[in-house]
Amino acid sequence: VHAIRNAVLPQTLHIDEPTPHVDWTTGTIRLLTEQRPWPQTGHPRRAAVSAFGVSGTNAHVIIEQAPEPAEHESHERRSLPVVPWVISARSRDALTAQAARLAHHLDRHPELDPVDVGYSLATTRTRFDHRAVIIGTTQ
């Protein structure tokens, strides 16, 4: 993963000399005796990773470079007419208590951005069966 992310081909481990059982003069496979840059070719980088366990457990995976994230034209926040805050709990009483804890937290931290609070509530909290949505403005 780091080789793909950092665009560096690492040195081959635990081998000092190429095996004589492979004709190294044909094809494009070669033993890497030192790390080298992994150039961009216009295609995603791919790597094969093998692991051989002493107990006989072997694993092999092929990983591929993730696509670059799309560039957004603007990093400015859009103005929202309302902001939803989603809360949930395992019971009705717990939901009421959760709402009270949120209100207390917001009273102690008035600097928090309502959009950030809504995003965090929607994306980082466990969803339980009892839910409520608080709709408000950013003012």
Please report, for the domain that includes residue 125, its CATH number: 3.30.70.3290
Strand, coil or helix: what is 58? strand
**69 lies in some domain:** no
How many structural domains comprise the chain? 2
pLDDT at 57: 92
Average pLDDT value over all residues in the chain:
89
d(C-alpha 12, C-alpha 14), whole Å: 7
Average pLDDT for 131-139: 85
- The one-character DSSP state at 60 is E
Last residue of a domain, one of 64, 93, 113: 64
Residue 65 pLDDT > 60, yes or no?
Answer: yes
**pTM (2 d.p.):** 0.47
Cα 57 to chain centroid, rounded: 28
Number of Cβ within 10 Å of residue 110's Cβ equals 6
Which range, 9-18, 33-42, 70-79, is most confident? 33-42
Q: Write out pLDDT tens, residues 68-96.
A: 887 765 556 667 788 999 999 999 999 99
Together in a domain, 89 and 57: no
Pair of tokens at residue 4: 């793909």
Domain that includes residue 52, residue range: 2-64
